[in-house]
Amino acid sequence: MYRPPYVAGSFYPGSKQSLEKMIEEFMEEAKKNVDFVDEGKNVGVLCPHAGYVFSGKTQAYSYYYLSKSPPDTFVIIGPNHTGMGLPISLMDKGLWETPLGEIEINQELASKIVENSKLVGIDSSSHRYEHSIEVQLPFLQYIKKDATFVPICMGIQDQQTAVEIGKAIAKSSKEPLGVIASSDLVHYGNRFRYSPVKGSKDEVLSWIKSNDMEILKLAENFDIEGLYRFIGKKDYTSCGYGPLSAMLSCMKELGANKARILDYSNSYEASRDYSNVVGYGAVGVRC
């Protein structure tokens, strides 16, 4: 099965030259601020998935972290924004294309994940128009041209489901593995029907950063239960807490117990609009 790029030219540049130039600039900036003190053959990251002009800077931190001896295969877990397809949808074979070329699904690993999970089903319809996984691929191709991957789209994101998926991924891989959790943080403002705090620009942005950093700190400490308590208590609008928790669950199963916050930003830095703000975080873990 062939999956063409759906958001090329909107979320990221549609031409190879422009896309490579943009990613390279982001990566050079991340290179100045990310060190490689962490060791391990397995690696997991949290990455945002907005348009590159908004979140590409933070996304690059995660991919620079991944770029040290990257594994051959990655699992990319993203939330389902379209509502299409099965509750937990895995595409098990085929090619995805971006302006940087084609990237192949790892059929063997995909088959193992389905075999080891009671929740994951084979379905391509949820992936057809979903951007949360697609926007990760150009960065992945930039750091590892011959990488293969498995896409998993989460339409339900409860704690039990996320933990089970993470364990199934860990059980399925016998080779070094990369797991990419695709998620933005808060979606604040009338556009998202979420405005729990009102006030000046500084008050709003301070509240946003403080709460987004709570998410990142919980991830840093592998506190999945705390993450779900935080999301539930505040009705927090982080769109991919399930993929984040699945990545943490997988890495914990593989032997990790501590992650590292790599970067934080939000859309105000690009838009200068504090009435509608989306947060972006990068977290990395190796084991």
Distance between start and end Cα atoms, the chain: 33
- With the C-alpha atoms ordered 119, 124, 126, 132, is the resulting torsion angle positive or negative? positive
* Distance from C-alpha of 10 to C-alpha of 49, rounded to nearest angstrom: 12
pLDDT at position 35: 77
Write the pLDDT tens digit of every residue in 18-57.
Answer: 999 999 999 999 999 887 777 899 999 999 999 999 999 9
| 198-252 pLDDT tens trace | 899 999 999 999 999 999 999 999 999 999 999 999 999 999 999 999 999 999 9
Tens of pLDDT, residues 119-168: 999 999 999 999 999 999 999 999 999 999 999 999 999 999 999 999 99
The residues, ordered by sequence, that sit 6+ positions from 206 with a Cβ below 8 Å of its Cβ are none
Alpha carbon distance 85, 89 (integer Å):
7
Does residue 179 surpass a pLDDT of 80?
Answer: yes
For residue 148, list its beta bridge partners. 73, 104
Torsion (CA) 165, 169, 172, 175 in degrees, nearest 10: 180
CA atoms of 118 and 160, how far apart (whole Å): 12
> Which tokens belong to 28?
């050079």
Give pTM, 2 decimals. 0.97
List of domains in the chain: 2-286 (3.40.830.10)
- More confidently predicted of 36 and 69: 69
Going by the DSSP 8-state scheme, the letter that residue 192 receives in this structure is: G
In this structure, the number of other CB atoms found within 10 A of the CB of residue 231 comes to 19
Distances (CA, A) of 177 to 20, 99, 106, 247, 285: 25, 25, 12, 11, 12
